[in-house]
Amino acid sequence: MSMNKNNYAVIMAGGIGSRFWPISTEDCPKQFLDILNTGETLIQKTFKRLQKICINENIFIVTNKKYIDLCKNQLTDLNSKNILCEPMMRNTAPCIAYATFKIEKLNKDANILVAASDHLIEDEEEFIKIVNDSFEITKSNDVLLTLGIKPLWPDTGYGYIQYTDEKLNSFQNVNKVKTFTEKPNQDLALSFIDSGDFLWNSGMFVWSAKSINIAFRKYLRDIYDIFEEGKQFYNTNDESKYIERVFGLCKNISIDYAIMEKANNVYVYPAGFGWTDLGTWGSLYKKLSLDKNENTITGKNVITYDCYNNIVKMPNEKVVVLQGLEGYIIVEKDDVLLVCKKEEEQHIKKFVSDLSKFKNSN
């Protein structure tokens, strides 16, 4: 099947994955790691999946400039001019604006899929079908389409999308979005599931370059102006110099908050393709194979006694004996050891920031 030259993909790969500390670090974040023990890193899996939807030269990676070598080394099929470097972290809106302006200058009829570099998708065929359907929708309709995932349990770690019965023209499986909701507490998550009109927010979007740029102009004019002003530099030797100069002027804001929650042409495509946002140790636990006591253990020399429901990740050469632990994350990497209750894993982000203060004061 020949691929439509107007279809593009943008992979966002600039995060530091601090909730996966200590294996994910600022020097090598989780998207560049093989955390599923499959022989491929998460970004390699994502890139390979998108190669089934877009031609290689239409796939772009946006990442922090310090990860450019990791991208080049892991994605050997990708031309290095397709790696967009952010000088500093500024959340998803500036990242998407930069990629959009660059792509629109190459092709004003571009349709763009925006995806994260570190999500797991189990049913690739269904994913490809839904993205191709979405491209068909966005090429002829001025809509911002988000892929919503039919929820399988009342997860409190995901954002939710509530939709109405209103359909988009003749597209029976696309609904108008009513609201975006941040991560709920357990009771709220349960009521979302019960009501039946909520989906998990996958953070994947499909739109035409035209439509998203109209939205930037309308709802995020300051960021629109910054990238509009650099038009003559995109896809030239002066591009990176311009981006270095202006990127820091962009406010730190997410695309959800800046545009998706405000725009009135947002629709959702409810999907079920075995999606997991591998955001935390707990989400990874659900995807790894377990022993008879429901432990997931990586490391050749780990011996357990009366241990249940733990995530253990140890270097192969390390001999580790664990006794009587239930519901813990025990991870060692280099000179760092983490022991943390699974249900308290939301504190890991805080540990990382406390640790940097601790190191600086010593």
Q: What angle do CA 60, 44, 273 make, to 5 degrees?
A: 90
- Taking the C-alpha atoms of residue 4 and residue 326, their distance in angstroms, rounded to an integer, is 51
pTM of the model: 0.94
Q: Where do you find CATH 3.90.550.10 in the chain?
A: 7-280
Provide the residue type at 256 as one letter. Answer: D
In order along its 362 residues, the chain shows pLDDT tens digits of 578 999 999 999 999 889 999 999 999 999 999 999 899 999 999 999 999 999 999 999 999 999 999 999 999 999 999 999 999 999 999 999 999 999 999 999 999 999 999 999 999 999 999 999 999 999 999 999 999 999 988 988 899 999 999 999 888 889 999 999 988 989 999 999 999 999 999 999 999 999 999 999 999 999 999 999 999 999 999 999 999 999 999 999 999 999 999 999 999 999 999 999 998 899 899 899 999 999 999 999 999 999 999 999 999 999 999 999 999 999 999 999 999 999 999 899 999 999 888 877 77
Tokens 């500036």 sit on residue: 94
CA 260, 266, 268: angle at the middle one, nearest 5? 105
Q: What is the pLDDT of residue 358?
A: 82
Q: In the CATH hierarchy, which fold is given to the domain comprising 7-280?
A: Spore Coat Polysaccharide Biosynthesis Protein SpsA; Chain A (3.90.550)
In DSSP terms, 8 is beta-bridged to: 112
